[in-house]
C-alpha cells in the first residue's frame, strides 16, 4: 500500500480515482496540511472536494467525531474538475474513498 511520508497510507483504488478525475494533487495537498488540521481534528477527517457555481474548486474539511463539524475551507481558482463531489476520509493513518470507507464499516 502506498504511503505519503508520515502523513498517511492510501490505496491504489484511491490513487486511480484521483488520477481519473485529474485530482491527483489532492494527495500532496492533504498531506501538506496535516500538521494544521490535526491540531483541530484528532480523529476521523472528511475531505470533500467540489466546485461552486462559478466552477472554482472548493475543499472542505470536517471532523466526524463526536458529530460532523466544519473546520476548514480551501478555495482553488484553477481546477479542471467539474464532476460530482469527491469524499475522502482520513482515519487511523489511512486515506480512503467514500466507497472504501463504506465497505469497511
Structure confidence at residue 91 (pLDDT): 94
Q: For the beta carbon of residue 3, count every other beta carbon within 10 angstroms.
A: 13
Question: What distance in Å separates the CA atoms of residue 6 and residue 101, rounded to the nearest whole number?
Answer: 21
Q: 25: left (phi > 0), else alpha (psi -120 to 50), else beta?
A: alpha
Nearest CA to 62 out of 40, 76, 47, 52 is that of 47
Q: What tens digit of pLDDT does each residue of 50-92 get?
A: 988 887 899 999 999 989 999 999 999 877 677 899 999 999 9
pLDDT band at residue 3 using 50, 70 and 90 as cut-offs: confident
Cα 57 to its chain centre, rounded Å, is 13
Sole residue written with cell 481546477: 79
Domains and CATH numbers, the chain: 3-104 (3.10.450)
- The answer, as to whether pTM is greater than 0.95, is no
**pLDDT per position as a tens digit, 81-102:** 778 999 999 999 999 999 999 9
Amino acid at each position: 500500500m502506498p504511503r505519503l511520508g508520515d502523513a498517511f497510507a492510501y490505496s491504489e483504488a484511491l490513487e486511480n480515482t484521483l488520477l481519473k478525475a485529474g485530482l491527483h494533487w489532492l494527495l500532496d495537498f492533504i498531506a501538506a496540511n496535516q500538521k494544521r488540521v490535526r491540531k483541530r481534528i484528532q480523529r476521523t477527517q472528511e475531505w470533500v472536494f467540489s466546485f461552486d457555481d462559478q466552477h472554482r474548486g472548493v475543499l472542505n474539511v470536517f471532523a466526524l467525531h463526536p458529530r460532523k463539524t466544519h473546520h476548514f475551507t480551501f478555495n482553488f481558482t484553477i481546477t479542471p474538475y467539474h464532476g460530482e463531489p469527491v469524499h475522502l476520509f482520513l482515519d487511523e493513518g489511512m486515506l480512503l474513498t467514500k466507497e472504501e470507507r463504506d465497505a469497511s464499516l
